[in-house]
A and B are shown apart, each in its own frame.
Chain A
């Protein structure tokens, strides 16, 4: 069975670095599959107006389309250009939970992410997404600085 790596993207330079790192690693391994993941931060426990609810399905589709076009597809193109097999996933949820859940679903061997770009009070109190992932993930996690 091919080695499977989940790469978490954030649409920023740290995610791009993680992608480059995973790409090199996959190249060296030879038989390796990559799963490029972008998580849209979303909570099922937020409060919304009735109107927002009615439009939610439409907004969700839009969010997924944008994430695919701007983040996931360029990454897939980069990987395919160097001859690697890669698929893309866009999902709503908490970054750490979703990345780990996807890794489990696809029986991935490891997760590669960039160092968190979040800062300030929220990150101090609740920890950054990356820190949460490292602490709770069910597979090894590589964090790229």
Chain B
């Protein structure tokens, strides 16, 4: 580590001293990484985002929304019926004191949330609102509410079919419930589907859980320091992540895990401050959201464009139906797998319906998006791909500018938040990816190390590549997980229904009752 740090610092110093010549050379390195990356992943991205024939609606977005809707109907709006119960579970009202010391519902929820709350909520929402206009917010909230049912289904199965090893550790997630669940129901192909899921999960971990994070963290840093090559940020991030996941320096991860929740609260707090300062515009902002949801207000692709962006960003942010949360939740010790399902349905609510909506409102209210005064519609940028913004920003820079217009120093706090969020998401996804990797290649020190090193290399690539190809690949890989996961959930959902019926009957009869603490 020491030698590595020294080399890194030397590289940094050399770069600063050598000035423009070296920087220029580095830029071409960034560009080279970028071009290679875009050409290598293009076919995959194109397939995932293929439009339904005769429309410009990507089939994958339809797939996610239909899945969430089916689960909502199949479980008779479980996300609303058991909402109060979910809160009691998180508070620990139903936890047996003799199980104290095991992973609590709260901890499982917090861990899963720290994997999802992050750049999707800050940068992702800015992308959605920047392209789809305020109307995207409406569809994002709707997708968040429906997604609660998907999350419920996958997390219940995650706990039910996890592997418990003799040494007391656990592994769980879609790959386990797909293979075990299909076997149990006598269905063929479980193993193949589990392998497919694992491959996509590894790609998702390297894409959305890694490259996108590194990329946006770099964008945020350059916003403050001025431009410098992405691979430098990438190397620093890779070094720290390497120290945690390979070096086992848990203290860094522990500090992050404790700081991230406070950053989350600070972020929501700051959003509320911006809203309070502009309280007279909240009504107008909601008006824009509703009007935009059904008319598009001049955005590219009209209201369908708004809808696609909203649904896409919601799925990317809360990961409902993707299967990642099932990996995080399966560690909880509970006699009733379904209780973990109830707890997990709070995730899309906190992540999308609360935090993402805050970001969207701040961007809309700060009027960073330029409105054509003659028509009341939004003006498009020169390329016609997104709404023109005051500073020409997109992604995390847009969010930063929006907050900055109300609280001048907030971009600095946001920069720190983004870096920490990016880091904690990377740590979470390194675990998800690792679980998929060990499912494929078996558990063992060497196989684990191989994955961890690959993971760190992709951080550097992610920081060096430009936003477009990275965000496309990240979305595509994460959505590919959802293709396999939701397909399998349709077969396995009856298992969850049996659990749900049995549990709610016992809850009603008083067999399951609160513990008096």
Contacts and interface: CB of A to CB of B under 8 A. Distances in A.
A54 B102 CA distance: 10
Contacts of B432: 50
A47 B255 CA distance: 10
Nearest to A55: B169
Given A44-B100, A44-B106, A47-B107, A57 B258 contact: no
Nearest to B115: A50
Given A53-B332, A56-B331, A57-B169, A47 B114 contact: yes
A68 to B, nearest CB: 13
B254 A49 contact: yes
A77 interface: no
Contacts of B431: 49-51, 54
A101 B97 contact: yes
Nearest to B114: A47
Contacts, number: 96
Interface string B122-138: 00000000000000000
A20 interface: no
B301 interface: no
Nearest to A43: B104
Interface string A56-88: 111111011000000000000000000000000
Q: Which of B92, B110, B168 has the most CB of A within 10 A?
A: B168
Contact of B107 (A53, A55, A58): A53
Interface in B156-203: 164, 167-171
A44 B107 contact: yes
A45 B367 CA distance: 39
B328 A50 contact: yes
Contacts of A53: 103, 107-108, 111, 328, 331-332
A144 interface: no
A47 B327 contact: no
Interface stretch (A2-10, A30-38, A91-99, A122-130): A91-99
The prevalent SS among residues of A at the interface is helix
A47 B257 contact: yes
Contacts of A97: 517
Contacts of A44: 92, 95, 100, 104-107
Given A47-B258, A54-B171, A91 B327 contact: no
A45 B427 CA distance: 20
A40 interface: yes
8 contacts: A44-B105, A45-B107, A48-B103, A49-B257, A53-B331, A54-B171, A56-B102, A56-B333
Given A44-B105, A50-B115, A64-B101, 15 more contacts: A44-B104, A48-B111, A50-B432, A53-B108, A56-B102, A56-B331, A56-B333, A57-B103, A57-B168, A59-B168, A63-B101, A91-B98, A91-B100, A93-B97, A98-B100
Interface of B: 92, 95, 97-98, 100-108, 110-111, 114-115, 164, 167-171, 250, 253-254, 257-258, 260-261, 327-328, 331-333, 427-428, 431-432, 517
